[in-house]
Structure 1
Amino acid sequence: MKFPITGGCLCGAVRYEIGAKPVRMVNCHCRTCQKSSGSPYMALLFVPASALKVDGNYREFPTVAASGNTVYRAFCPQCGTPLFGRNSAFTQLRPVAAMSLDDPDLYRPELDMWVADAPSWDLMNPGLPKYPGNFWQTAD
């Protein structure tokens, strides 16, 4: 994987660069990811907070997740593209929406989390580990 990894919103008003290897690549099936993305899960790259550089203005919306943490989801205020976020409990990491990458083929999911919230019709990759809740709180 070459760095920086780049991405941005649909209209081009917000661009970003990721300057370090993602810590984890995760399909999150929690209800807040479902509602904010309009899909059964959100494909996320968790990157070191210091490695994410943003150019352009974005808008954040806070929500309380099932974990009880406050999640701040960042969107382009002009076109509405979901871009990245931050979590009150995991300040050293930033989740980045994989489909906002310039090359989404760089995304390689490693696990599914919050599968307890997944709709019954969501066909998940059977080869990926499954976590009923938050992987970060159950990992060793």
Structure 2
Amino acid sequence: MTKRTAACSCGQLHLACNGEPVRISICHCLECQKRTGSIFGAQARYPREQVTIEGDSSQWTRRGDSGESATFHFCPTCGATVYWEPNAMPGFVSVAVGAFADPDFPPPYVSVYEERVHPWALALGELPLERHF
């Protein structure tokens, strides 16, 4: 069985996720943009019984673009959001894909709130090669 570990930047708050996620998605909603500081959020959803959580977290509940709320758990030391619990999906935990720090993590196969996509966002295959200045 696959076991993946996600953690905050300082490592104090970390999760062990057993098995494969039931969904991997990117969200373009405005709230995810504000939460991540990026143009979308990437998340992996796991059944709660497949996730072991260790460390302290601060929590904040907010309403998303859907009108539903979720409780976000972030490290009180470094501030990184590691996971959240959507109130509309009890029994599931969403984990920030970036918290796995794993370039081999499976890609998303669902994209939501695409009406909020930034017009300048490019598909990965269309990005120019990196140039060093």
Normalised by the size of structure 2, how large is the TM-score? Answer: 0.86
The amino acid of 1:28's aligned partner reads: C
What stretches of structure 1 move > 4 A for 4+ residues in a row?
none
The amino acid of 1:87's aligned partner reads: P
Rounded to whole Å, the distance in 2 between the matches of 1:124 and 1:14 is: 32
Report the equivalent of 1:60.
59
Rounded to whole Å, the distance in 1 between the matches of 2:59 and 2:51 is: 16
Deviates more, 1:36-45 or 1:65-74: 65-74
Rounded to whole Å, the distance in 2 between the matches of 1:103 and 1:42 is: 16
Cα distance per residue 1:54-99 (max 9 Å; x no partner): 1100111111111111111111110011101011111122110000
| Partner SS for 1:105 | coil
| Partner SS for 1:34 | helix
Report the equivalent of 1:122.
121
Larger Rg: 2
Report the equivalent of 1:137.
none
Quote how far apart the aligned CAs of 1:46 are.
0.8
Cα pair distance change 1:28/1:124, threshold 3 Å? farther
The amino acid of 1:37's aligned partner reads: T
User: What are the ranges of 5 or more consecutive residues in structure 2 without an aligned counterpart?
Assistant: 126-133
Aligned Cα root-mean-square deviation (Å): 1.6
Identity of aligned residues (%): 27
User: What are the ranges of 5 or more consecutive residues in structure 1 without an aligned counterpart?
Assistant: 127-140
Normalised by the size of structure 1, how large is the TM-score? Answer: 0.82
Quote how far apart the aligned CAs of 1:124 are.
4.1
| Partner SS for 1:33 | helix
| Partner SS for 2:31 | helix
Cα pair distance change 1:76/1:104, threshold 3 Å? farther
Matched, 1:89 2:119: no
Matched, 1:9 2:8: yes
Report the equivalent of 1:107.
106
Cα pair distance change 1:119/1:102, threshold 3 Å? closer
The amino acid of 2:90's aligned partner reads: T
